[in-house]
Chains A and B, each alone.
Chain A
């Protein structure tokens, strides 16, 4: 093999390595947050507004209970579009998000919950 071909092959290896790093290594170089998504599902029991994070903190009952954050700037809402008590919800949640409330002259954290990525609901209410 000529020196030129060897150099070209090595050049190809470097480019391949560089692209691989961009594709998979970037996740390490700029670690962000957790990406595990899990199910939420149950009756919506309480909803309170987070004035600085512009989300609603929802207490959801079993079987997949917990405190979840419905944030209209992030959460995709599906039929029947009602997040308020006593509608049932089934959706997916993501990382923990604090509920930021106004407390002049600051925003303070007022608990928080798991950020809903998507959720669908029953009609709820009667």
Chain B
């Protein structure tokens, strides 16, 4: 140990130093936790989303158009507003405004470096939260030194007229409520079944919404009523029985009165003959271009009506002459996908596509091929 360190450790101020340091980091940590708990909830992220009477919360001079006013919501409890991106050339006017009960109210930002009424680099303030469905608004005024010229309250790169810069915020969807379990309220809709394959006589639970709790539901298999008087206990689930129909894939919908669910689900009726479950061993080529032809190799494919369930949609009714390969062209997009990096330079990317095969014998394992975009 060096004499200098030894001297510090033995000094009478040692304990004060330790306690001060500990308190500093404890408070720092708590401040950080308070500041970081929550979900990003600002809603203005593009230049054209700002009303013309206000400046934009974006930085037009960095090339990245990053946000200079960002908001984090901790539910409806608190809202943390952060202004500036930390650059030493940014000066934030320490007073801003936020709309409370329809009136603009002055808000004071704080930051680690303050000169006069300006905060250098980055400032922030924590205020009360907004309620679900309510829109909060915050105004700030940010100046940037761009090549020895001050640009303040900008709406674009030219920045002709300084304006208060506006950001808005709302509680994001998904942060309000008690869970993702659908309930029986709302439009009659079938979401998904408890299983996709079964034999006649087996039961399947349909998860959905708007099911009547009385015995009024009818079940349509490819448009034909196969079961009537089905009731739901919760309004969100219906237990149905697989009818005695030929093996194959059926679209199952629910009908109540004259109303038929907008969406159906695909349920397969199996053969029950112990045919091998489809298995994918490989996909060739392992990578290719959009619109290219790909072949899935494996076993247990049926001569016709195989489905390929992929990341970007379902390819239905695919044949397999030899039972060992299924070939398809893959172009599920409305446009030709081309990828770039953040500097707008062409940048090739291998987009992974997950594939499983489903038929009357079951659903296969998953394999991936890549689309080079």
Residues of chain A having any CB pair with chain B under 8 Å: 3, 6-7, 10-11, 13-14, 17, 20-21, 24-25, 27-29, 31-36, 38-41, 43, 47, 49, 51-54, 62-66, 72, 77, 79-84, 86, 88, 90, 93, 95-96, 98, 100, 102-112, 114, 122-126
Chain A: minimal CB distance from B303 (Å): 21
Residues of chain B having any CB pair with chain A under 8 Å: 1, 6, 9-10, 14, 18, 21-22, 25, 28-29, 31-33, 35-42, 45-46, 58, 63, 65, 72, 74, 172-175, 177, 179-183, 186, 191-192, 196, 251, 263-266, 307, 309-314, 316, 332-333, 335, 337-344, 349, 351-352, 354-356, 358, 363, 366
The interface residues of chain B lying within 8 Å CB-to-CB of A86 are: 263
The interface residues of chain B lying within 8 Å CB-to-CB of A6 are: 10
Chain B: minimal CB distance from A36 (Å): 5
Contact B29 A25 (CB under 8 A): yes
A27 to B36, CA, bound (A): 9
A29 to B320, CA, bound (A): 59
What does DSSP make chain A's interface, helix, strand, loop or mixed? mixed
Contact A51 B339 (CB under 8 A): yes
The interface residues of chain B lying within 8 Å CB-to-CB of A49 are: 333, 335, 337
A98 to B40, CA, bound (A): 12
Known: A38-B39, A82-B309, A110-B46. A102 touches B196 (CB 8 A): no
Contact B174 A88 (CB under 8 A): no
Of chain A, the residue at the smallest CB distance from B363 is A80
Contact A100 B196 (CB under 8 A): no
Q: Can you name 19 A-B residue pairings with CB atoms under 8 Å?
A: A6-B10, A7-B1, A24-B29, A27-B33, A28-B31, A29-B28, A40-B180, A49-B335, A62-B186, A72-B352, A77-B311, A81-B311, A81-B356, A82-B312, A84-B311, A111-B46, A114-B40, A126-B265, A126-B266
Contact B309 A14 (CB under 8 A): no
A20's partner among B25, B173, B174, B313 (CB-CB below 8 A) is B25
Contact B312 A114 (CB under 8 A): no
Contact B366 A81 (CB under 8 A): yes
Of chain A, the residue at the smallest CB distance from B314 is A125
Known: A34-B38, A72-B351, A95-B40. A123 touches B196 (CB 8 A): yes
Contact A90 B180 (CB under 8 A): yes
Of chain A, the residue at the smallest CB distance from B368 is A81
Of chain A, the residue at the smallest CB distance from B252 is A126
Of chain B, the residue at the smallest CB distance from A92 is B174
A95 to B45, CA, bound (A): 14
B316's partner among A39, A40, A62, A126 (CB-CB below 8 A) is A126
Chain B: minimal CB distance from A31 (Å): 6
Of chain A, the residue at the smallest CB distance from B22 is A17
Contact B310 A109 (CB under 8 A): no
A126 to B265, CA, bound (A): 7
A14's partner among B18, B179, B251 (CB-CB below 8 A) is B18
A114 to B32, CA, bound (A): 22
Known: A51-B339, A82-B311. A7 touches B10 (CB 8 A): yes
The interface residues of chain B lying within 8 Å CB-to-CB of A53 are: 342
Contact A124 B174 (CB under 8 A): no
Beyond contacts A39-B180, A109-B46: 7 other A-B pairs, Cβ-Cβ < 8 A, are A39-B174, A51-B337, A63-B183, A64-B174, A107-B344, A114-B174, A123-B314
Contact A124 B313 (CB under 8 A): yes
The interface residues of chain B lying within 8 Å CB-to-CB of A88 are: 191-192
A95 to B41, CA, bound (A): 9
Of chain B, the residue at the smallest CB distance from A35 is B36
A47 to B46, CA, bound (A): 19
A114 to B38, CA, bound (A): 13
Known: A66-B173, A81-B366, A126-B264. A107 touches B340 (CB 8 A): yes
A49 to B335, CA, bound (A): 9
Known: A43-B191, A93-B174. A123 touches B309 (CB 8 A): yes
A31's partner among B36, B181, B266 (CB-CB below 8 A) is B36
